[in-house]
Amino acid sequence: MVIYFSGTGNSRYVANMINSAIGGDDEIVALNDLIKTGLGKPLVSEKPFVFVTPTYGWRIPRLVSKFIRETDFGGNNKAYFVMTCGDGTGNAAAYVKELCAERGLVFMGLASVVMPENYIAMFAVPDKAQAEAIIEKAEPGMRSIAEYIKNGQQLPTETVTLAGRFLSSVVNPIFYRFFISAKGFYVTEKCVACGKCVRLCPLNNIQLLEGKPEWGGECTHCMACICGCPEEAIEYKNKSKGKPRYYLG
Ligand X SMILES: Cc1cc2nc3c(=O)[nH]c(=O)nc-3n(C[C@H](O)[C@H](O)[C@H](O)COP(=O)(O)O)c2cc1C
Of these, 10, 45, 91, 240, which contacts ligand X (CB under 6 A)?
Answer: 10
Is residue 30 within 8 Å of residue 70, measured between CB atoms? no
Nearer to ligand SF4, 56 or 107 (CB): 56
User: From the list ligand X, ligand SF4, none, which binds 19 (C-beta under 5 to 8 Å, kind-based)?
Assistant: none
Q: Which stretch binds ligand X (CB under 6 A): 32-40, 68-76, 111-119, 195-203?
A: 111-119
Query: Taking CB under 6 A as the rule, does residue 6 contact ligand X?
Result: yes
Binding flag, residue 57, ligand X (CB under 6 A): yes
DSSP 59: B
Strands (E), the chain: 2-4, 28-30, 43-45, 49-54, 73-75, 78-85, 106-114, 185-187, 206-209, 212-215, 234-236
Q: Which of 60, 82, 86, 105 binds ligand X (CB under 6 A)?
A: 86
Least Å distance, CB 245 to ligand SF4, is 11
Continuous segment of H or E residues that includes residue 136: helix 128-150
Kindly give the interhelix angle for 62-70 and 92-103, rounded to the nearest 10 degrees. 20
225 interacts with, out of ligand X, ligand SF4, none, CB within 5 to 8 A per kind? ligand SF4
By beta-carbon proximity to ligand X, the closer residue of 40 and 177 is 177
The residue within the footprint of ligand X, chosen from 79, 108, 201, 223 (CB under 6 A), is 223
* Interacting residues with ligand SF4 (CB under 6 A): 7, 182, 187, 191-197, 200-203, 205-206, 213, 215, 219-225, 229, 231, 233-234
Q: Which of 195, 200, 242 minimizes the C-alpha distance to 219?
A: 200
Distance of alpha carbon 98 from alpha carbon 147, whole angstroms: 25
Count other C-beta atoms under 10 Å from residue 226's C-beta. Answer: 29
Q: How many CB atoms lie within 10 A of CB 131?
A: 20
Picked from ligand SF4, ligand X, none, the partner binding residue 85 (CB below 5 to 8 A depending on kind) is ligand X
Least CB distance from residue 212 to ligand SF4, whole Å?
7
Is 221 or 243 the residue whose CB approaches ligand SF4 more closely?
221
Q: What are the residues whose beta carbons fall under 8 Å from the beta carbon of 147, sequence distance 6 or more? A: 21
- Cβ of residue 41: shortest distance to ligand SF4, in angstroms? 22
Contact 83, 109 (CB under 8 A): no
* Beta-strand relationship, 78-85 and 43-45: unpaired
Q: Which is nearer to ligand SF4, 39 or 163 (CB)?
A: 39
Rounded Cα distance, 44 and 58, in Å: 29
Q: Binding partner of residue 229 among ligand SF4, ligand X, none, CB under 5 to 8 Å per kind?
A: ligand SF4
Per rule CB under 6 A, count of chain residues that contact ligand X:
23
Q: Which residues bind to ligand X, rule: CB under 6 A?
A: 6-11, 54-58, 84-88, 115, 117-119, 221-223
